[in-house]
């Protein structure tokens, strides 16, 4: 394991269920001096993303297996299953979702949050707490676009096939290509675009994948 203890923060005025204190193992302690940056950054910082890719390459993260091979009909069935299971979205209309499916298209877990990154964090947390990591032989879908941060987290979680309702960023495509993931975007109706890892998608008609 990468950590020895994880507890809620309950000191002083800290929120009891909104913050965690994590004690890392000695081998998992990051080399903070290697992460120093001396320039202004923001959430869309491409330089930061490039630096993070190099860092991921140097870490001892298992590679994504060659499989699985997924039928296009399974892929196109996911958006409706995702929407039908978004109970909070139905009530508010303002939440993102991240969902995990098996190779038969069965929904294994779904998490929602105002932030799309938080939704994925919750889903990966579910996997950790239920001994489901890595997510090999699974398909992950998010309700928004595919950013490089989401692809990085999914790679660490062992996701082979990542699907998004909307577009991927160019750096997200780089992440997927570099680490052997299948990246699907614009998954709507009976159409989707395959940006990387098309070998995991069974032979299909040209109209189904660009």
Strand order in the sheet with 139-142: 107-113, 96-101, 139-142, 161-164, 182-188, 191-196
Q: Are 202 and 209 in contact (CB under 8 A)?
A: no
Identify the residue whose tokens are 């909070």: 88
Alpha helices in the chain (DSSP H): 46-58, 72-84, 87-92, 116-129, 148-156, 170-178
H or E stretch including 101?
strand 96-101
Q: What is d(CA 146, CA 17) in angstroms, rounded to the nearest whole number?
A: 28
- Centroid of chain to Cα 79: 16
Q: Is 163 a catalytic residue?
A: no
Strands 3-8 and 96-101 come out as unpaired
Q: Kindly state the tokens that stand for 168.
A: 């991927």
Q: Of 9, 45, 48, 163, which residue is the catalytic one?
A: 45
Active site residues: 45
């Amino acid at each position: 394991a990468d950590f020895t203890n994880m507890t809620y923060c309950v000191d002083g005025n800290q929120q009891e269920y909104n913050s965690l204190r994590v004690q890392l193992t000695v081998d998992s302690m990051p080399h903070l001096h290697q992460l120093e940056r001396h320039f202004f950054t923001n959430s869309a910082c491409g330089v930061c993303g490039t630096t993070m890719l190099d860092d991921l390459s140097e870490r001892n993260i298992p590679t994504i297996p060659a499989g699985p091979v997924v039928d296009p009909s399974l892929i196109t069935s996911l958006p409706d299953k995702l929407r039908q299971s978004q109970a909070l979205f139905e009530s508010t209309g303002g939440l993102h979702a991240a969902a995990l499916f098996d190779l038969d298209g069965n929904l294994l877990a779904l998490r929602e949050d105002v932030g799309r990154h938080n939704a994925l964090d919750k889903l990966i947390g579910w996997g950790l707490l239920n001994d489901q990591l890595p997510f090999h032989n699974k398909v992950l879908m998010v309700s928004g676009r595919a950013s490089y941060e989401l692809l990085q987290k999914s790679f660490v979680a062992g996701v082979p096939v990542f699907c998004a309702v909307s577009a991927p960023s160019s750096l997200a495509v780089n992440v997927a290509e570099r680490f052997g993931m299948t990246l699907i975007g614009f998954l709507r109706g009976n159409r989707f675009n395959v940006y990387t890892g098309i070998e995991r998608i069974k032979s299909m008609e040209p109209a189904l994948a660009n």
